[in-house]
Structure 1
Amino acid sequence: MKIPRLAVIISCWNYERYVAQAIRSVTSQAHEDCELIVVDDGSTDASWAVIQREGVRCYRTKNNGSRSACLYGLSRTNAPFVLFLDADDELEPGAIDTIIENLDEGVAKLQFPLTRIDQSGKVISGPVPKLGAFRDRHLAESVLRTGVYMSPPTSGNVFRRDLCSLLEEVDYEQTVDGVILVAAPFWGDVVSLSKPLGRYRIHDRNDSGLGRLPDAVLLRREISRFIDRMAHLSKILARSGAGLKLVPAEQTYFYLERSFYLAIAEGRRASAADAIRLIWRLWAGYHSINAKVEFTCFLLLTAVLPNRRARQSIAYRLDAGERSLRGFLQAVFASGPR
């Protein structure tokens, strides 16, 4: 039998409300070069029954986290490219056609924006993040210098199969969009599409915490994961023998930014020295001049605001919607007490 070019793997844990929509967003496209595999990660609600009613290829495993479920699904396909679709997200009609048209052996990762929707499926924002259309591997330079590059959440990425093998080495987190995201530019070309091909659902169980005031526990976890991912990537690069040197995690903008937010989330005031170091890192980065000016204003204002207002400003900044300076000021100063 012909091996399909793309496998969509949906891992589900207690998402009985959304998993059917995720499945149908794939099956409705009925593409002969794409197969769907659904893995229920030991759900305790009615998810497994919902999945079985959809009549798709599905498996049920003992609850061990998303990464483990996704690896199980990966072991059930030989497709050279894989999209890990979260069970609360969806693909747009025609997305599979567009994805497959842009895949070839030189592609390590394909990415696309996601339209944000609410619990009922109503659109609540335009495409996030705002990606340009390009194909290159120069993003590796950004990773070496900053540890990151502009990338969408899990459901907005398609990975080449050999890159996914790195997930077997991960023992520090249960997500799948960690080290393989930052390793992708070293494996081949990253193809970026500007058209949104998926929908990212915002609801009360989002692990990202979008739409909520900053949570110190989540921020500490983000920082810890980032440090572990950077250490893992350093080992991967060392194995390549190319002599590539990765910036220390503690010197990156991401680390300094999340540490700045953490101080405020814990009720402390970020120090002037921390704010200056963060702004210096911002201006040394790849953002546009307009973005740098707006982010600088945001950081300076946040640093001097009372803690309650400062937490509101961070919630706005972490939200994946519009981030204009005007919108920021309206969100922080026009809102009531929280």
Structure 2
Amino acid sequence: MTSSTFRLAVIVNCYNYAEYVERAIGSVLAQRRDDCEVIVVDDGSTDASWEVIRQTGVRAFRIENGGQRRACIYGLDQTTAPFVLFLDADDELLPGALDAIIPHLQPEVAKVQFCLGRVDGGGQHLGSMVPHPELFCRVGDLRERVRRTGVYVSPPTSGNVFRRDLCELLRDADYDNAVDGIIILAAPFFGEIVSLPEELGLYRVHDRNLSGVGRGIDADIIRQHMQRFRNCIAHLNRVMPRDSKQQPVDIDTTYFYLEKKLILASVVGQVGRYRQLPKLLNVIIGDYFPPARKLILSGFHILIAILPFSLSRHLIEVRYRPEKRTGAALARALTGTNR
């Protein structure tokens, strides 16, 4: 088979996931697609990951540790297919996933996204999917949603297939270590988003995710995500195709940033934090979610803005602590995108 016949490249990126990576690779090989190229990039693992990877017989590379984004760029340079799926080494594809995905890989499509079933470290199902399938049905104009909120409903890294030109944006994202930032945010501005409300993969929740499970909300982490978001929006505004409908995103009017400011103010005990409510509530009311959802979100933010700081912080912890959070997944959890 010549490289020109490949329609999709699956790049498995691995760092110290010896106990999971064989399952991830096996889940791709089991798809039995001749039009899919598969490679694995070991990002300088210090456990037995490389030995496990070599035993699978797949095309694999071991590089010096440089983080997820650099490992995925390295993998991108080893492939030729016009669409790319970055599969985390602790996640998996389900049987028939690529059969469902590949027919949608058309030139006008910037991204195909699909649901992932949540499993624990031992592979036991946790009874829910990310995102919830119903959220895919209320998409609206995703470009306008990004302008208003700074986010849209999207699965974690392993639930996305990106057109190759979109992946090229990663090369200039030196401010980020993850891959599910700029290319997810920019996708609606570069083409169509195809959302498949089917469970086509598994998203593993365990205590070795980058930001951990059960970690309390920390002011420094919130500040880091606010800065990451600011850098990402600046990047988006530089590369966004310009036409009469695609105007720059104003970060200071987005739901993501306004909510972070309110949460941070509550966590650090900032006096007068309630003054931030009008702008935030205006964005929530203008969102496309049903009235009941708007009411819940509005009520939550009003409470954390007016309650004593100890109670406010407790509410924030209760809402956000249970989720698996890695890279932009934490950003989605903090914004309630996958609610």
TM-score w.r.t. structure 2 length? 0.86
Question: Given that residues 113 and 156 in structure 1 are in contact (C-alpha distance below 8 angstroms), is that contact kept between their aligned partners in structure 2?
Answer: yes
- Once the two structures are TM-superposed, the CA of residue 263 in structure 1 deviates from its matched residue by 2.8
Residue matched to 2:329: none
- Once the two structures are TM-superposed, the CA of residue 109 in structure 1 deviates from its matched residue by 0.3
* Aligned residues: CA RMSD: 2.3
Please give the alpha-carbon distance, in whole angstroms, between the structure 2 residues aligned to 1:319 and 1:15: 24
Residue matched to 1:222: 225
Residue matched to 1:149: 152
Please give the alpha-carbon distance, in whole angstroms, between the structure 2 residues aligned to 1:266 and 1:196: 39
* The 10-residue stretch of structure 1 (35-44 or 116-125) with the greater mean CA deviation from structure 2: 116-125
Please give the alpha-carbon distance, in whole angstroms, between the structure 2 residues aligned to 1:171 and 1:151: 22
Residue matched to 2:199: 196
Question: Given that residues 149 and 283 in structure 2 are in contact (C-alpha distance below 8 angstroms), is that contact kept between their aligned partners in structure 1?
Answer: no
Q: Say which of 70, 73, 79 aligns to 1:71.
A: 73
Question: Given that residues 7 and 102 in structure 2 are in contact (C-alpha distance below 8 angstroms), is that contact kept between their aligned partners in structure 1?
Answer: yes
* 2:107 alignment partner AA: E
- Once the two structures are TM-superposed, the CA of residue 235 in structure 1 deviates from its matched residue by 0.8
Per-residue CA deviation, residues 239-288 of structure 1 (Å, 9 max, x unaligned), is: x4425322321221001112222233345577111234322221122222
* The 10-residue stretch of structure 1 (137-146 or 165-174) with the greater mean CA deviation from structure 2: 137-146
- Once the two structures are TM-superposed, the CA of residue 124 in structure 1 deviates from its matched residue by 1.4
* 1:123 alignment partner AA: H
Please give the alpha-carbon distance, in whole angstroms, between the structure 2 residues aligned to 1:272 and 1:206: 34
Please give the alpha-carbon distance, in whole angstroms, between the structure 2 residues aligned to 1:219 and 1:125: 29
Higher RCO structure, 1 or 2 (CA under 8 Å, sep 6+)? 2
Please give the alpha-carbon distance, in whole angstroms, between the structure 2 residues aligned to 1:222 and 1:294: 24
* The 10-residue stretch of structure 1 (268-277 or 242-251) with the greater mean CA deviation from structure 2: 268-277
Question: Given that residues 213 and 312 in structure 1 are in contact (C-alpha distance below 8 angstroms), is that contact kept between their aligned partners in structure 2?
Answer: no
Residue matched to 1:186: 189
* The 10-residue stretch of structure 1 (62-71 or 139-148) with the greater mean CA deviation from structure 2: 139-148
Per-residue CA deviation, residues 207-233 of structure 1 (Å, 9 max, x unaligned), is: 355543212232221111100010011
Please give the alpha-carbon distance, in whole angstroms, between the structure 1 residues aligned to 2:123 and 2:263: 30
- Once the two structures are TM-superposed, the CA of residue 48 in structure 1 deviates from its matched residue by 1.0
Please give the alpha-carbon distance, in whole angstroms, between the structure 2 residues aligned to 1:181 and 1:157: 8
Identify unmatched segments of 5+ residues in structure 2: 324-339
Please give the alpha-carbon distance, in whole angstroms, between the structure 2 residues aligned to 1:320 and 1:232: 31
* Aligned length in residues: 319
After the TM superposition, which residues 19-34 of structure 1 pair with which residues of structure 2 at under 5 Å, given as runs? 19-34=21-36
Please give the alpha-carbon distance, in whole angstroms, between the structure 1 residues aligned to 2:35 and 2:139: 25
Question: Given that residues 275 and 299 in structure 1 are in contact (C-alpha distance below 8 angstroms), is that contact kept between their aligned partners in structure 2?
Answer: yes
Residue matched to 2:57: 55
Identify unmatched segments of 5+ residues in structure 1: 322-338
- Once the two structures are TM-superposed, the CA of residue 134 in structure 1 deviates from its matched residue by 6.4
Please give the alpha-carbon distance, in whole angstroms, between the structure 2 residues aligned to 1:285 and 1:42: 43
Please give the alpha-carbon distance, in whole angstroms, between the structure 2 residues aligned to 1:273 and 1:66: 39
* 1:139 aligned onto 2:142: yes
Residue matched to 1:236: 239
Would the alpha carbon gap of residues 316 and 33 (structure 1) be closer, same or farther in structure 2, given more than 3 Å must change? farther
Would the alpha carbon gap of residues 41 and 197 (structure 1) be closer, same or farther in structure 2, given more than 3 Å must change? same
Question: Given that residues 14 and 88 in structure 2 are in contact (C-alpha distance below 8 angstroms), is that contact kept between their aligned partners in structure 1?
Answer: yes
Question: Given that residues 4 and 35 in structure 1 are in contact (C-alpha distance below 8 angstroms), is that contact kept between their aligned partners in structure 2?
Answer: yes
* 1:178 alignment partner AA: G
